Amino acid sequence: MASNNILYAQSGGVTPVINATACGVIQTVRTNGQGLGRVLAARDGIIGALQEDLIDTTAMSDGEVAALRHTPGGAFGSCRYKLGSVEDNQEEFRRLAEVFRAHDIGYFFYNGGGDSADTALKISRMGDAFGHPVRCIGLPKTIDNDLMVTDTCPGFGSVAKYVAVSITEASLDVKSMASSSTKVFIMEVMGRHAGWIAAAGGLACRKSGDAPQVILFPEIPFDEDAFCKAVDESVKANGYCSVVVSEGLRDSAGKLLADAGTQDAFGHKQLGGVALVLAGIVRENLGYKYHWAVCDYLQRSARHIASKTDVEQAWAVGRGAVELALAGHDGVLAAIRRISADPYRWDIVPVPLSEVANQEKKMPRAFIDPDGFGITDACREYMAPLIQGEDYPPYRDDGLPDYIQPEFELVERKLPEYRV
Amino acid sequence: MASNNILYAQSGGVTPVINATACGVIQTVRTNGQGLGRVLAARDGIIGALQEDLIDTTAMSDGEVAALRHTPGGAFGSCRYKLGSVEDNQEEFRRLAEVFRAHDIGYFFYNGGGDSADTALKISRMGDAFGHPVRCIGLPKTIDNDLMVTDTCPGFGSVAKYVAVSITEASLDVKSMASSSTKVFIMEVMGRHAGWIAAAGGLACRKSGDAPQVILFPEIPFDEDAFCKAVDESVKANGYCSVVVSEGLRDSAGKLLADAGTQDAFGHKQLGGVALVLAGIVRENLGYKYHWAVCDYLQRSARHIASKTDVEQAWAVGRGAVELALAGHDGVLAAIRRISADPYRWDIVPVPLSEVANQEKKMPRAFIDPDGFGITDACREYMAPLIQGEDYPPYRDDGLPDYIQPEFELVERKLPEYRV
Res B131: pLDDT: 83
- pLDDT of B6 higher than 70: yes
Q: The domain spanning residue B347 has which CATH number? A: 3.40.50.450
User: Which of residues A260, A284, A301 is at a domain's end?
Assistant: A301
A31: which residues sit within 8 A by CB, 6+ positions away? Answer: none
B265 contacts in A (CB within 8 Å)? 260-262, 277, 280-281
ipTM, two decimals, is 0.96
Same domain, A160 and A288: yes
User: Which of residues A282, A301, A320 is at a domain's end?
Assistant: A301
Please report, for residues A166, A378, B385, the alpha-carbon distance to residue B155 in angstroms, rounded to integers and kept in the order given.
Answer: 17, 38, 14
Q: What residue in B sits closest to A259 (Cα-Cα)?
A: B265
Same domain, A137 and A17: yes
In a domain, A399, yes or no: no
Mean pLDDT of B224-234: 98
Residue B77 near chain A (CB below 8 Å): yes
Same domain, B215 and B312: no
Same domain, B197 and B149: no
Q: What residue in A sits closest to B211 (Cα-Cα)?
A: A405
Percent of chain B whose pLDDT exceeds 70: 97
Closest by Cα among A15, A18, A299, A143 to B187 = A299
User: Which of residues A359, A376, A394 is at a domain's end?
Assistant: A359
Question: A interface mutation test: which of B70, B79, B172 has the most A CBs within 10 A?
Answer: B172
Same domain, B229 and B110: no
Instruction: Please tell me which of the candidates A47, A187, A276 has its beta carbon nearest to residue B264.
Output: A276
Mode of pairing for the β-strands spanning B332-341 and B344-352: antiparallel
Supply the DSSP symbol for A259.
G
In a domain, A234, yes or no: yes
Residues with pLDDT less than 70, chain A = 1, 260-272
Res B272: pLDDT: 59
The residue segments making up the domain with residue A174 are 156-301
In angstroms, the separation between the Cα of residue B129 and the nearest Cα of chain A is: 29
Please give the Cα distance from A346 to A309 (Å, whole number). 10
In a domain, B382, yes or no: no
- Which pTM was predicted? 0.97
> How many domains does one find in chain A?
2
Res B92: pLDDT: 92
Per-residue pLDDT tens digits for A141-192: 999 999 999 999 999 999 999 999 999 999 999 999 999 999 999 999 999 8
Using 50, 70 and 90 to split pLDDT, how confident is the model at B52? very high
Same domain, B224 and B342: no
Q: Do the Cβ atoms of A301 and B172 come within 8 Å?
A: yes
Same domain, B263 and B130: no
Say which range, B109-123, B270-284, B380-394, has the weakest mean pLDDT.
Answer: B270-284
Other residues' Cβ atoms within 10 Å of the Cβ of residue A360:
12
A387 contacts in B (CB within 8 Å)? 398-400
Q: The domain spanning residue B285 has which CATH number? A: 3.40.50.460
Instruction: Please tell me which of the candidates B45, B264, B389 has its beta carbon nearest to residue A280.
Output: B264
Same domain, A294 and A315: no
| CA atoms within a 13 Å half-sphere pointing along the CA-CB vector of B22 | 39
In a domain, B389, yes or no: no
**Total residue length of chain A:** 420
Res B265: pLDDT: 47
Q: Give the DSSP per-residue string, A156-221.
A: HHHHHHHHHHHHHHHHHHHHHHTTTS--EEEEEE--SS--HHHHHHGGG--STTPSP-EEE-TTS-
Same domain, B111 and B162: no
In a domain, A403, yes or no: no
Per-residue pLDDT tens digits for B343-382: 999 999 999 999 998 888 989 999 999 999 999 999 999 9
Res A265: pLDDT: 46
A56 catalytic? Reply is: no
Please give the Cα distance from A331 to B172 (Å, whole number). 31
In a domain, A413, yes or no: no
Q: Are B58 and B41 in contact (CB under 8 A)?
A: no
Same domain, A205 and A329: no
Question: B interface mutation test: which of A43, A207, A291, A296 has the most B CBs within 10 A?
Answer: A296
In a domain, A148, yes or no: no
A239 contacts in B (CB within 8 Å)? none
Same domain, A330 and A218: no
Other residues' Cβ atoms within 10 Å of the Cβ of residue B60:
21
Res A132: pLDDT: 87
Same domain, B236 and B325: no
- Average pLDDT over all residues of chain B: 94
Closest by Cα among B42, B72, B71, B41 to B57 = B41
In a domain, B37, yes or no: yes
Res A312: pLDDT: 98
Contacting B residues, span 295-324, partner chain A, CB-CB under 8 Å: 295-298, 300-305, 307, 309
Per-residue pLDDT tens digits for B109-132: 999 998 899 999 999 988 777 788
Q: What residue in A sits closest to B13 (Cα-Cα)?
A: A177
| CA atoms within a 13 Å half-sphere pointing along the CA-CB vector of B33 | 21
Q: Do the Cβ atoms of A291 and B297 come within 8 Å?
A: yes
Res A127: pLDDT: 73
Q: Count CB pairs under 8 A between chains A and B.
A: 257
Q: Which one has a higher pLDDT value, B265 or A305?
A: A305
Res A374: pLDDT: 98
Percent of chain B whose pLDDT exceeds 90: 86
Q: What residue in B sits closest to A190 (Cα-Cα)?
A: B293
Please report, for residues A15, A306, B162, B166, B238, the alpha-carbon distance to residue A302 in angstroms, rounded to integers and kept in the order given.
Answer: 8, 7, 10, 7, 22
Contacting A residues, span 30-69, partner chain B, CB-CB under 8 Å: 44-45, 47
Residue from B53, B144, B310, B391 carrying the catalytic annotation = B144
Supply the DSSP symbol for B395.
B
